[in-house]
Amino acid sequence: MTRIGFIGMGNMAKAIVKGLILKEAVLPDDISAYAPSQNKLKSFAEETRIIPYQDVEKMIADADIIVAAVKPDLIEEVISPVKDLLKNKVLLSVAAGRDFDYYEKLLDSSTRHLYIMPNTPVQIGEGISIFEQNHSLTDDEFETVEKMFSAIGIVQILPADLMGIGGTIGGCTPAFFAMIIEAIADGGVLHGLPRDAALRLASQALAGTGKMQLETGQHPGEMKDAVCSPGGLTIQGVESLEKDGIRAALIRAVDASVKK
């Protein structure tokens, strides 16, 4: 069984761990972690039954695959002192912007590495994990990692120059969709729906629409047209959204995130 060790246990690392355990892609006993905040790590370990370490060097020695899950500006500070320990290991990085070329300069040549951009829905097995096309994993190692992350969502492989926009679509838009769910639920509450019912209906409508597009491959415009009867209530809502510029607003939001 492949043993996975996490350096850092922030929100993204926790989401990955929860998803892997939920989907039984990795057993809790085969997941270890080191984090500076030992109390928080211990609490999470008790919740998930993963193995907490007080010593990052020991954790790296005991793991087959290491996941660097610290903030991008801390990567060099965290990884440089353990560079020698990572020799002949696999390193997966989920730190935004730290790509193949970056690690080629930072790591020993024997360390195989891959840059991944997951999003938070991986914790329920409905996430997106974007893999950089450039990597140094062996075929067997890549197959193992791809299978692992496919268990917690979809895997999309992209070239280095598209990781930014791919990561924005995958990583930032859950916040946009959460705002859309909240706003639609507010509309339901405005007309008398209890808040919990409004949220449940809005969330399932969004989730179901997304899954239907993935499974059928239908163009979203075709899906929209199928709901819009001539002179019906849905086309009235669509006309209102178009008048308020929903498409332009969402395009600008993606563009703003990419530029940042």
Q: Which residues are annotated as a binding site for NADP(+)?
A: 7-12, 69-72
3-state secondary structure at position 69: coil
CA–CA separation, 22 and 202 (whole Å): 25
Residue 2: what are its φ and ψ, rounded to 5°? -75, 130
CA–CA separation, 152 and 100 (whole Å): 23
What the block records as the tokens of 8 is 């850092």
Q: Tokens 């509450």 map to which residue?
A: 189
3-state helix/strand/coil string of 188-207: HHHCCCCHHHHHHHHHHHHH
Closest CA to 104 of 94, 118, 115, 116: 115
Query: What is the H or E stretch that residue 117 is in?
Result: strand 112-118
Binding-site residues, in ranges, read 7-12, 69-72
Q: For residue 212, what are the contacts with CB-CB under 8 A and spacing of at least 6?
A: 218, 223
β-strand partners of 19: none
How far is CA 258 from each of CA 14, 102, 166, 254, rounded to the nearest angstrom? 25, 20, 9, 6
Q: For residue 134, what are the contacts with CB-CB under 8 A and spacing of at least 6?
A: 99, 100, 101, 159, 160
What the block records as the tokens of 193 is 């729906």
